Structure 1
């Protein structure tokens, strides 16, 4: 009798555990501010699932996480259009079933023209849905910089030595170095371009206070170290955060133009439940979610119009670069302080 009772108790315990084990878990890889807890909670309650959010801090970090296990560690992630090609080429993402994302009908027309947005579609297959965007301008402290800087080269100005913040990434930094040097295409560097940009980035390393990764980190450093200039990788998101922190700042688009990113949601090849991942993308396009993105993060959404979107003559939309691995490798050696002669070749 005791054995039967014990077996019954084990059966009941296992049966009670089944719902928790069987419940779907959506694994989301996102940038700061893209998936706030209260936003996530609504989705969890609506779909009776659990959402695990992991935050990334750079394109390199994103690539490492998604590619580490051939896309099997995450279901859905946010990536800019220039980087998306890399994931498509590596077969790490899959075409979307647009019927599962009806809210695309509420997007602005230019974001519904998926054939016109580089890397979103391949043939009739659509791999991503635009979510948010910003240009990467320069933030400056009005108390220290009386005249707004008009060039990206201000980051190299020796009068601001030790009072400049830049973003810790090889991809964008080689591009802004190329812009500063007057290169026509900052996304495609030849050998001479690599040599010049590398030397220029070594000079940048010597001029900056440090390199940041997350927007909140940049705000803290800006305030604690009386930073004069900040390269705003997160764009208007950092502008809003600094203003909320009480900083007296200005924001400019340099005369060379500003790099700009368009982040999209896409689904990994290793997604456990593709329909659920697409339901997440659809949810991200709902009005309350988009409004929260604007109000909390200072970022534009793809449903409402944004005044920052139409500086078209100053915006340089990101494009795939000639060799992201080489840029990352050389950048890692630059910030580690390796001698310049060791950086001429990957």
Structure 2
């Protein structure tokens, strides 16, 4: 190749490099927020509204369980600006210094969050420094009254083989596929704390779940909703928000928080320590706390909102006064939040759960 030709090629390469570089700059200058949330846990229209009103593009990923989300944030394999874990996981992430404090000067709509839920959130986030409640609810039993004639008010309906056989649903139980929820249910049924750290109690809970194994049709989370609506199964464990939706679709379905007690959970927005865009994260959190946005999300996902201003805007009287969406004190007083129990106990829980599922 001649000298002149070499110069032409070099010149073209330099131009091409500059063009690519400019294109890269243009892309990086587009404001973008990276959001990590539970699946089907936001009205898609809300994302579009946020983008339109702020000019910030939303890159949105979802997860199935807290335990799926945690290693992503802990290892830094992906950097998100804002994430929505549950109570005990928020507590764990605070202890491990994975979160940064929220500047509430940038979140004025925090005033719409009912002080009751902010106080409850202090159990896992003292001073509400790192999280803002997004949704809350209970864990209970959903059953089909046309398929099970007996009234159900106990977790025993998931474990008592004689009761199951008498009501014709042995082998048809939909059990929740969640370490803390499943073991928590077994623990409270046995009369123990759902935050037990006692190895003997956990062993007893594990054995109860192993005995239940032949009665279980499937271990599920989101799938319980469609299976129960379609009448595929007569009974399952479900989150309260999903129960509201299922009852709309199938009036034969009944939700109950068992008499032995249950979990009351709070999911909240947090900002990871390595978040690339804290400013955008706080804009997102403030947007989610706006009454009209909180209402829109509630109507779409049917999980209880801690936003008192949004609740006042609910027009459907039955939903506004629903004891599933907004249970009274007689139900709430027998429900407890999950706590982070430490790495050693957490491993013990996971090992017990793996033993159950490898039955």
Q: TM-score, normalised by structure 1?
A: 0.86
Give the corresponding residue for 1:57. Answer: 64
Give the deviation of 1:212 after TM superposition. Answer: 0.6
Give the deviation of 1:171 after TM superposition. Answer: 1.3
Decide whether aligned partners of structure 1 residues 276 and 165 sit closer, same or farther in structure 2, where only a CA change above 3 A counts.
same
Give the corresponding residue for 1:42. Answer: 49
Give the corresponding residue for 2:246. Answer: 242
List runs of 5+ in structure 1 lacking aligned partners.
338-346
Give the corresponding residue for 2:4. Answer: none
In structure 2, the residue corresponding to 1:40 is in which secondary structure?
Answer: helix
Decide whether aligned partners of structure 1 residues 38 and 126 sit closer, same or farther in structure 2, where only a CA change above 3 A counts.
same
Question: Matches of residues 210-225 of structure 1 in structure 2 within 5 Å?
Answer: 210-214=218-222, 217-223=223-229
Query: Is contact 1:293-1:300 (8 Å) kept?
Result: no
Q: C-alpha distance in 2, partners of 1:34/1:288?
A: 16
Query: Is contact 2:42-2:297 (8 Å) kept?
Result: no
Give the corresponding residue for 2:270. Answer: 266
Q: 2:186 aligns with which of 171, 177, 180?
A: 177
Question: Matches of residues 140-179 of structure 1 in structure 2 within 5 Å?
Answer: 140-158=143-161, 159=164, 160-179=169-188
Q: 1:8-38: per-residue Cα shift (whole Å, max 9, x none)?
A: 5664554344222222332211113333322
In structure 2, the residue corresponding to 1:137 is in which secondary structure?
Answer: strand
Give the corresponding residue for 1:312. Answer: 332
Give the corresponding residue for 1:330. Answer: 352
Give the deviation of 1:244 after TM superposition. Answer: 4.2
Query: Is contact 1:133-1:261 (8 Å) kept?
Result: yes
Q: 1:92 aligns with which of 98, 112, 117?
A: 98
- 1:190 counterpart = 2:195: no
Decide whether aligned partners of structure 1 residues 45 and 17 sit closer, same or farther in structure 2, where only a CA change above 3 A counts.
farther
Task: Please identify, of 134-143 and 294-303, the stretch whose mean Cα deviation from structure 2 is larger.
Answer: 294-303
How many correspondences in the alignment? 328
Question: Matches of residues 95-106 of structure 1 in structure 2 within 5 Å?
Answer: 95-106=101-112
Q: TM-score, normalised by structure 2?
A: 0.83
List runs of 5+ in structure 2 lacking aligned partners.
1-6, 312-319
Query: Is contact 2:135-2:267 (8 Å) kept?
Result: yes
Query: Is contact 2:137-2:266 (8 Å) kept?
Result: yes
Decide whether aligned partners of structure 1 residues 92 and 27 sit closer, same or farther in structure 2, where only a CA change above 3 A counts.
same
